[in-house]
Amino acid sequence: MTARRLLLPVVGVIALLTIWEIAVRVSGVAPYVLPAPTRVLDAAIRTAPLLGPHLVTTMTEAGLGLVLGAVAGVSLAVVIIASPTLRLLLYPLITFSQTVPMVVLAPLLIIWAGFGLTPKVIVVMLTVFFPVLISAVAGAAAASADHMDMVRGLGGGPGDALWLVRIPSALPAALGGLRIATTYTVGAAVVSEYMAGESGLGVFIQRSRKAFAIDQIFVAVAIIALVTAVLFLLVDHLCALATPWQRTPSKETLAL
């Protein structure tokens, strides 16, 4: 079953690339409009020495932002869960802040924090922060009423209910939010590099666009997709290790 799950996506990708290659060659579309996969591969080999430093920069921004965003989201979630007053005070403000697009905030962050690594990391951190926070708070709100009653019945106070019921209930939800946020981290880093950057895949894409090197843009897009998938698998594995009680697959899951 595992081999089948790995084989089918590979076959699908190969089929898609084959159709793409044939369609481009038959239609005669210009390479600067839509390059064939073989041309993209050639561009990847040609630009490999240049891509290394750009990839390191983007992954540094994405990695730092992911860790800081997760820590900030979980920390504030614990505060909000522990204090209904703070939840009424902060939750609407945090939700309202998400109505401002990150593309709008990025120039301001660059003005405030400079043109270095810091504003890019902040953009990624803010991208991760909200899904983790919202998921954790929602998970705590869905804590078992029976478990809460049990803690009270055994003489536990609000603090015991918080640490024994609410936070354990919030953990799987917070990790679910982290999994979702992980898929946006590399993209957020790339977008922040569009605004002002000297290195990174976003800078590479901008330079390729100005040179009308569409094949190089496809190379960068493929790398972004690949590293995002690898990062997601890594985070998903770490989340599974943090919640071992959720790792036992059902027969229905195995049958898929």
Q: What is the pLDDT of residues 132-178, one digit of tens each?
A: 998 888 887 776 666 676 767 677 766 666 667 777 778 888 888 99
| Candidate from 47-61, 67-81, 161-175, 241-255 with smallest mean pLDDT | 241-255
Encode pLDDT of 171-206 as tens digits: 888 888 999 999 999 998 998 888 777 888 999 999
Q: How far apart are CA 124 and CA 177, in angstroms?
A: 14
Average pLDDT over residues 32-59: 90
Which amino acid belongs to residue 175?
L
Please provide residue 29's backbone torsions phi and psi, each rounded to the nearest 5 degrees.
Answer: -65, 145
The pLDDT, as a whole number, for residue 151 is 67
- Are 161 and 72 contacting, i.e. CB atoms less than 8 angstroms apart? no
Query: What's CA 183's distance to the chain center, in Å?
Result: 3
Of 108, 66, 112, 101, the C-alpha closest to 195 is 108
Percent of the chain with pLDDT over 70: 87
Give me the domains of the chain, ranges plus CATH numbers: 60-243 (1.10.3720.10)
Cβ atoms of 48 and 103 within 8 Å: the answer is no
Given a contact cutoff of 8 angstroms between Cβ atoms, the answer to whether 72 and 125 are in contact is: yes
Task: Determine phi and psi for 92, rounding to 5 degrees.
Answer: -65, -40
CB 219 within 8 A of CB 40: yes
pLDDT in tens, 71-107: 999 888 888 888 878 888 887 888 777 777 777 777 7
Instruction: Give the list of residues 6+ apart from residue 229 with CB closer than 8 angstroms, or none.
Output: none
Given this model, what pLDDT does residue 219 score? 93
Return the pLDDT at 63: 94
Whole-number Cα distances in Å, 222 to 41, 49, 153, 200, 216: 10, 16, 56, 14, 10
Cα diameter, the chain:
77
